[in-house]
Structure 1
Amino acid sequence: MGEGRVSYSAIAAFLLLQITSFCSSSPLSTNSRWIVDDASGQRVKLACVNWPSHMEPMIAEGVEKKPLSEIAQKITANGFNCARFTWPTFMFTRPEYSNLRVSESLDKYNLSAARVGIVKNNPQILNMTVVELHKAVVDELGRNKVMVVLDNHISRPGWCCGDKDGNGFFGEFYDFNPGEWLRGLATVANAYKGNPAVVGMSLRNELRGTLQNEAEWYKYMRIGANTVHNQNPDFLVIVSGLSYAGNLGFLKSQSLIVRFTNKLVYEGHWYPFGIPADKWTSQTNQLCASVTKATTDNLLFLTQGNNSFPLFLSEFGINQRGDNEADNIYIGCLLSVVAELDLDWALWGLQGSYILREGTVNLEEFDGVLDLNWDGVRNPSFLDRLKIVQQINQDFKSEHPTYYKMFHPLSGHCVQIVENRIVVANCKNASKWEQHQDEGPIKLVGSPQCLGVAADGEAPRVSEDCSSNWKFVSSSSMHLAAQKGNGGYLCLEMNTSDSKLVTKKCLCVGDDLGDLPTCANNPQAQWAKASRVDWSNIPNFKLAYSPKRATAELRHSSSIGNRATPSPSASAVASSPFSSDYNSATVSADDDNGRDRHPRDRSFRSYFQSFFPHFLFPNDDLHRAHPHRSKISIAILVAIVFAAVISVSSLVQRLNAPYLCKKDGITLQCPHVKEPPSLWENPHSATTSWKPCAERREGVISDLPSENSTSGYIFIHAEGGLNQQRIAICNAVAVAKILNATLILPVLKQDQIWKDQTKFEDIFDVDHFIEYLKDDVTIVRDIPEWFTDKAELFSSIRRTVKNIPKYAPAQFYIDNVLPRVKEKKIMALKPFVDRLGYDNVPQEINRLRCRVNYHALKFLPEIENMADLLVSRMRNRTGNSNPFMALHLRFEKGMVGLSFCDFVGTRMEKALMAIYRLKEWPRRFKDGSHLWALALQKRKEGRCPLEPGEVAVMLRAMGYPKETQIYVASGQVYGGQNRMAPLRNMFPNLVTKEELATKLELDEFRKHVTSLAALDFLVCLKSDVFVMTHGGNFAKLIIGNRRYLGHHLKSIKPDKGLMSKSLGDPYMGWATFVEDVITTHQTRSGLPEETFPNYDIWENPLTPCMCRT
């Protein structure tokens, strides 16, 4: 094949292969440890997701949320080619279950909302029996080219699994009768005979419990396997082991004998259950090594040796909210093994919710791929990590070439050479490396070049210098280290800020290259696995492709075919950007003659020629054959460039016209701004360097004293609104710790503005509060019984400490308050607003305050549940999963008056506001705070709340489109609808909790104003973007909490001084304004910020409440 040409015969063959894979319905078999297609002999890899249908209603999860066809399409769209579809035994063996219609099952459990959802999304299934529905789901999966593995998950429909649930092992109670189990296997195998979608059947999920034993396992698994094969010889027969499918080690000494060949597959589950989370975080390398060894001994050994079998890792998974650090480490450890061995697997699970689980209706599954409403993916970055294991990397056919990808489990990406950088990026375009011998060089395939170690913090180089000898160190064997000269060893590490590969000091590894006993760092940034690849340019036979997708890929292959390069030996003499001697030695070696490279890797010349195919460079053969084409192309190009210059000039003039937005009555019309990619989250690289660490650790705070050794009792009134009270409670716990005192549960004092009588137990979970802090401070619910005169505590000067200054240091309490507590045994601290400093107290005390704020103070479950419902409704307002913004609009009459700022309005409005200010703040009014000059100065200094119209212009400049869904947390806006009109006109999708929820739903919360405030607090906390418009405890607590959750949630704190300056400049153009807004707010979005003297830990808990990862 000549250079730069497309092989149309190859394209035709590729298309034929794709069509064959779409239409084939041939069964699958096994060849050693591989699953293969009977007809072609090609390997088939199961990359599955679990889809439950075994719960009490016996209805496939999600059919009340989305049409069946849409759910099946979501499976393929997310890279899965297979579903492990569950079923309970009784559904097929007992008439009272199998004859139950879907509508009857829903009525049986009073699932009225699910019925409404099914009528909307899948009305055709309502009159089906549950068995007919099961078959309908399988048929829909088949129509979407999704392979199906049927899994006997449980006997009696319900949640699985527990040691004593009656479903654990053969003969257990009444549910797991071996005869009924065999009858169910036979019925299902026969029911799906001839269905091309079903490729295999799993005999039983997670055998377990006190009755489990090897003798009965061999007996019944042999009978069960033979039963399925007799009924349906086409099926793969999938067999699980003991101990929750975690142990097949007994097969080393005795094989399972069945009456068939080339159909037996073993399955296993790999979860981190039972392992303390702190071990994952403090002994990461050791624990990964030990659990990998245990899994190898119990399961993975089946893939090794001459008598090997396919191992189907049929369950694993994590909390996909991403906030469980132990889960995040475990999954990196697991993926390194799955990639190395190229296992078949099934992720738990697809479902974002359950129709009914353990008595709870519409229970959210945080381990699910999809979100609560099945609208979209819960965690796209996690699915991105699965891409390398979704594709076939290894094969049993010796004619396929072997090379290695350097896989980075933390990111799910691979090392590749892009232009003049070595980066960790998409594994599809990964650089190809030769097999590495420990303490030897790492060489590129087909090239004399090697990977060379660099100085600490610098990027490694690829050159002909092969003197760097690399070795895998640590017990995890995933730190790739080399020695720099005569210095110490440095390890490869992915730089989180730009994904570049650098060499740095090995994390959690000592100078002897052994593991440190404990380590606070997360070493996963340095984990790498050499993953073998010997599968070249042949698609996964049963991949879930559609013809449309295949056509698109065919066009892609054609469009990049002109980038074919000479053989590796020829290209090796080209030059490399990593060395002065070579330019591009890795092109052919890394890209299979260019056919698999992504279009973004094409050179500028390639793009140039794709747009102007006849504008060829002088050294091209076609230019020499047709020189006149080049001249014509030059003329056309000159004309296009000239027109472009004129257009750009006109555009620039328009953008810099002296206006920001046109005003039309009370509405604003602003130019459209393209939505930037980082609109809804902070850059990943900027949010991964810090993690929460306020949870209690042994030795950080001294052990709790016995009840008799405390200095006494302290009591406080938490004054103000909900958030001011929250801060007071945190400070009260801290002061109790400083004084070694017992804290009486704080009283939430009635506020003159809020006029609320809420008690602590009306808003917060008291039991959780006391229990969570029991190792830090003793907290009691009420004044001790021996203190009889309770009224004295509220009124007597002798029982009250009143001289505490604002932001007092810890020493003040020790010197002035502690003696009185010891003397009187019970003392009230009053007032108690902002009575404890930040940088003048020990760090462990600040950490305790964070522990109270972020861990101990939980709202009541009914408040949390209602807030979750509001968030769910916000995310589903468009009918699909949509992000939403929470806007804390502080423009109530009281805030406008208190600010003493001047706002646009009629003379009557201004006159009425002056009267209001004189009445409420007479002293400030008389000292001139109302004067125009002072009000203007405040606005310039950014001390005035933003008006709704100013907020609208700012958000549009940031790039938020008109369709943005916005939750407004606000009181009654001063000026009413007229004042809100500019914001609502530009962003019509504004909504409050009163519009999201019914009156009946909110009535219970209207009893306490703080309950309504708590709902706003939680919705803002869980929003995709939070925008404050003025200061206050609410905003700073939200921003601080979102920072503590990991900084990835955007929390926009407007630069009100900039807004005042820009909006007051009549000559500033829209383009300049947009640039100013975007540039200024890049650092005002809740990113990590170093603290400073007298910092506020409520808004910025970075230190001491967060630690570097």
Structure 2
Amino acid sequence: MAKIKSTKNSILTINPHLYPQFLLFFSPKNHPRNPPPSSSPSSCILLSLTLFLASILCFTAINPFLDTNSVSIITRTATYSPLFLASLSSVYQDPNAEDNDSPVSLSVTSMVPLPPRSVAGNSSEFWKQPDGEGFEPCLSFGLKYRRRSVKIAREKKRFLVVVVSGDLLQIRNQIVDAVVIARILEAALVLPVIKGDESEFSEIFDVEHFRKTLKADIRVVSSLPSTHLVSWQSLENQIPYNVPPFWIRARFFKKLNEEGSLVLTGLDSKLSKNLSPDLQKLKCKVAFHALKFAKPVRELGNRIARRMWIEGPYVAIHLSLEKDLWVRTGCPTGLGSEYDSIINKERESNPEFLAKSSNTNCPLNALEAARLLKESGAPANARVYIAGGEPFGGDRAIMPLKTEFVNLVTRDTLARDVELNPYRNRSAILTAIDYIVSLSSDVFLPSYNGQMAQALQGHRAYVGHRKYVTTSMNFKGQPQPRGKRRDRDVGARGEIEM
């Protein structure tokens, strides 16, 4: 991110009462008895000079408000930033429902959140948004990167195929890394294959938008050409964790050059976080601009978000209370010995879980989440949206939260059956709906530092540093300098370069 100076004080204002005097200053003083000739050369010169100077002053006054498509960073004005205007328009319509033939603009993100709300009274401090300190997203790539893009974006000989799996946020992160790897290998990227979910890439994400947004960085194709058929038995999944770009290039570029295609799988957390500034910007471009949800998913998520927003400010809590998370962490569920016994038995039957240290990075249960929300200053009548999968223990698991905050809703209580029925067995799409509603919330609180929490922390920082509550009460969503920590993902953390 880059810190942009405000243009508020750079606008030259013109006093309309001074304009007639300005004209008189350049006009010749004539006696009433001797009117000037109509074709005096000096009068024409002075009049032309006056109009020329007036035009310059008018252009200077309105120039800060002019929009240009050549700007590659999101600049900020005091009042009318592109994101601000798009955010207001999203209250009544889907801001992302543009014509497929229109050019992709990087002045706003692929998902525009609804504007934050403000309230008066004792709870006003809780709803107050953090100070963004003037930092704004910056996608100005270096000259070397742009020169290489001319060739890479036209690549027709080398093709990279990636197979991604996991939940929605794991899929998203692997796609981001796949684009960076394709760039490193100077290869065209075939649309990623999603394994383990009933939805295909085109059902979750907008394919055409993905392709158009990245057309200046890499070439994206729908499938391998017939001349590059590969055997799916040759999947390359022996990639260690945290590998740097030079390892990727040294390991795969020669093979890709010889065979023309390469299939990679198991990309989760494999690419190093310590990347060059241009590759870090590319990751942000993919995550926050290229990966836009498919239109049906986007429209449903935005409708539910508006149903929350129209009633006033709201909190989104992502509760990670699924059974598999309790089994994986070995943490107490907060539901009593009966439920903890069930978790312990499953852990005993899976030695790989017992090998991991228990009670580390434990998720908050509903009671702990309610306490954290109250300690943060949330009023008892605050409207709370619960995101997340089916909790272990059912309604009993979230009862402590319902007791403290009576205005508690979920996507099932806000959406009509006819709206959700097509996606009942589509976990990735249901998560996408929760993601959209959580992104627009005035305050976001995760119960666990998992993929959803990290993705929303970065995204909320990218769209204007929306308030974000964690167990660390010192952090409220304000800009976080990276400093010397080069092993942290800017796309997930929303940090800034120092």
TM-score greater than 0.5 by the shorter chain = yes
Query: For residue 29 of structure 1, what is the aligned residue in structure 2?
Result: none
Matched, 1:814 2:249: yes
Query: For residue 689 of structure 1, what is the aligned residue in structure 2?
Result: 134
Query: For residue 780 of structure 1, what is the aligned residue in structure 2?
Result: 221
CA shift in 2, pair 1:862/1:696, >3 Å: farther
Deviation by residue 1:798-844 (Cα, 9 ceiling, x = unmatched): xx3332211100010121111110111111113221221011x3221
C-alpha distance in 1 between matches for 2:255 and 2:336 = 57
C-alpha distance in 1 between matches for 2:433 and 2:267 = 25
The within-5 A match list for 1:577-726 is: 675=122, 677-684=124-131, 687-694=132-139, 700-701=145-146, 702-705=148-151, 712-726=158-172
Query: Does structure 2 conserve the Cα–Cα contact (< 8 Å) formed by 1:1053 and 1:1085?
Result: no
CA drift at 1:946: 0.7
| Greater gyration radius | 1
Query: Does structure 1 conserve the Cα–Cα contact (< 8 Å) formed by 2:469 and 2:475?
Result: no
Specify every segment of 5 or more residues in structure 1 that has no aligned partner in the other structure, as ranges.
1-31, 35-248, 254-268, 289-316, 328-348, 361-375, 382-673, 751-755, 1056-1080
Matched, 1:835 2:265: no
CA drift at 1:867: 1.3
CA drift at 1:283: 11
Of 186, 201, 204, 1:760 maps to 201
CA drift at 1:727: 0.7
Query: Does structure 2 conserve the Cα–Cα contact (< 8 Å) formed by 1:711 and 1:821?
Result: no
CA drift at 1:786: 1.6
Of 290, 296, 316, 1:862 maps to 296
C-alpha distance in 2 between matches for 1:283 and 1:1087 = 17
CA drift at 1:679: 1.2
C-alpha distance in 2 between matches for 1:954 and 1:1018 = 23
CA drift at 1:969: 0.4
CA shift in 2, pair 1:1085/1:906, >3 Å: same
**Corresponding residue SS for 1:1054:** coil
**Corresponding residue SS for 1:679:** helix
Query: For residue 795 of structure 1, what is the aligned residue in structure 2?
Result: 233
CA shift in 2, pair 1:831/1:281, >3 Å: closer
Query: Does structure 1 conserve the Cα–Cα contact (< 8 Å) formed by 2:153 and 2:215?
Result: no
C-alpha distance in 2 between matches for 1:957 and 1:351 = 32
CA shift in 2, pair 1:696/1:1008, >3 Å: farther
Deviation by residue 1:245-275 (Cα, 9 ceiling, x = unmatched): xxxx99x99xxxxxxxxxxxxxxx9797864
The within-5 A match list for 1:885-1034 is: 885-919=315-349, 921-925=350-354, 927=355, 935=358, 938=359, 943-1006=361-424, 1008-1034=426-452
CA shift in 2, pair 1:711/1:806, >3 Å: farther
CA drift at 1:960: 0.6
C-alpha distance in 1 between matches for 2:325 and 2:202 = 29
Deviation by residue 1:517-573 (Cα, 9 ceiling, x = unmatched): xxxxxxxxxxxxxxxxxxxxxxxxxxxxxxxxxxxxxxxxxxxxxxxxxxxxxxxxx
Of 54, 58, 68, 1:276 maps to 68
Query: Does structure 2 conserve the Cα–Cα contact (< 8 Å) formed by 1:675 and 1:959?
Result: no
CA drift at 1:696: 5.2
Query: For residue 54 of structure 2, what is the aligned residue in structure 1?
Result: none
CA drift at 1:895: 1.2
Query: Does structure 2 conserve the Cα–Cα contact (< 8 Å) formed by 1:821 and 1:827?
Result: yes
C-alpha distance in 2 between matches for 1:714 and 1:862 = 28
**Corresponding residue SS for 1:1088:** coil
CA shift in 2, pair 1:866/1:697, >3 Å: farther
- AA matched with 2:480: P
CA drift at 1:847: 1.2
Report the number of matched residues: 424
**Corresponding residue SS for 1:838:** coil
**Corresponding residue SS for 1:963:** coil
CA drift at 1:909: 2.4
CA drift at 1:698: 5.6
Query: Does structure 2 conserve the Cα–Cα contact (< 8 Å) formed by 1:320 and 1:378?
Result: no
Query: For residue 846 of structure 1, what is the aligned residue in structure 2?
Result: 280
Query: For residue 210 of structure 2, what is the aligned residue in structure 1?
Result: 769
C-alpha distance in 1 between matches for 2:189 and 2:162 = 9
C-alpha distance in 1 between matches for 2:337 and 2:496 = 49
Query: For residue 174 of structure 2, what is the aligned residue in structure 1?
Result: 728
CA drift at 1:906: 3.8
**Corresponding residue SS for 1:786:** helix
C-alpha distance in 2 between matches for 1:859 and 1:759 = 12
CA drift at 1:892: 1.5
CA drift at 1:731: 0.7
**Corresponding residue SS for 2:126:** coil
**Corresponding residue SS for 1:966:** strand
CA drift at 1:1093: 3.3
Matched, 1:1082 2:467: no
- Of Structure 1 and Structure 2, which has the larger fraction of its residues in helix? 2
Query: For residue 7 of structure 2, what is the aligned residue in structure 1?
Result: none
**Corresponding residue SS for 2:468:** strand
C-alpha distance in 2 between matches for 1:784 and 1:987 = 56
- Of Structure 1 and Structure 2, which has the larger fraction of its residues in strand? 1
CA shift in 2, pair 1:275/1:958, >3 Å: closer
C-alpha distance in 2 between matches for 1:680 and 1:893 = 32
CA shift in 2, pair 1:803/1:715, >3 Å: same
CA shift in 2, pair 1:868/1:695, >3 Å: farther
Query: Does structure 2 conserve the Cα–Cα contact (< 8 Å) formed by 1:967 and 1:991?
Result: yes
Query: Does structure 2 conserve the Cα–Cα contact (< 8 Å) formed by 1:704 and 1:777?
Result: no
CA shift in 2, pair 1:907/1:1052, >3 Å: closer
